[in-house]
Amino acid sequence: GAGVSQSPSNKVTEKGKDVELRCDPISGHTALYWYRQSLGQGLEFLIYFQGNSAPDKSGLPSDRFSAERTGGSVSTLTIQRTQQEDSAVYLCASSLEGRGVGELFFGEGSRLTVL
Amino acid sequence: QQQVKQSPQSLIVQKGGIPIINCAYENTAFDYFPWYQQFPGKGPALLIAIRPDVSEKKEGRFTISFNKSAKQFSLHIMDSQPGDSATYFCAASDYKLSFGAGTTVTVRA
Is the link from the previous residue into A25 a cis peptide, with omega within 30 of 0? no
Question: In the prediction, which pLDDT does A100 show?
Answer: 63
CB atoms within 10 A of CB B79: 11
Compute the distance between CA of residue B102 and CA of residue B5 in angstroms, rounded to an integer. Answer: 9
pLDDT, tens digit, for every residue of B16-71? 999 999 999 999 999 899 999 999 999 999 999 999 899 999 999 999 999 999 99
Q: Over 80: is that where the pLDDT of B5 sits?
A: yes
In A1-115, alpha helices (H): none
Assign B94 a pLDDT band (cuts: 50, 70, 90): confident
pLDDT of residue A1: 55
- The answer to whether residue A18 scores a pLDDT higher than 90 is yes
The answer to whether B50 and B33 have CB atoms below 8 angstroms apart is: yes
Residues of chain B contacting residue A106, judged by C-beta atoms under 8 Å apart = 43-45
Please name the residue of chain B whose CA is at the shortest distance from the CA of residue A31.
Answer: B96
Q: How far apart are CA A6 and CA B35, in angstroms?
A: 23
Model confidence at B1: pLDDT above 70: no
Q: In whole angstroms, how large is the CA radius of gyration of chain B?
A: 13
Q: What is the pLDDT of residue A66?
A: 97
DSSP label of A56: B
Q: What is the pLDDT of residue A65?
A: 98
Buried b (16+ CB within 10 A) or exposed e, A7-20: eeeebebeeeeebe
Query: Are B6 and A42 inside 8 Å of each other by CB?
Result: yes
Cα A46 to its chain centre, rounded Å, is: 7
Q: Assess whether pLDDT exceeds 70 at residue A7.
A: yes
Report residue B96's pLDDT band, with 50, 70 and 90 as the boundaries. confident
The pLDDT of residue B2: 77
Across A3-27, average pLDDT: 97
In tens, the pLDDT along A31-61 reads: 999 999 998 678 999 999 988 888 999 999 9
Contact B89, A32 (CB under 8 A): no
Q: B96, A41: Cβ pair inside 8 Å?
A: no
Cβ-contact B52, B71 below 8 angstroms: no
Q: Is A49 on the interface with B (CB under 8 A)?
A: no
> What does the pLDDT look like over A62-110, one tens digit per residue?
999 999 998 879 999 999 999 999 999 999 999 987 766 778 999 999 9
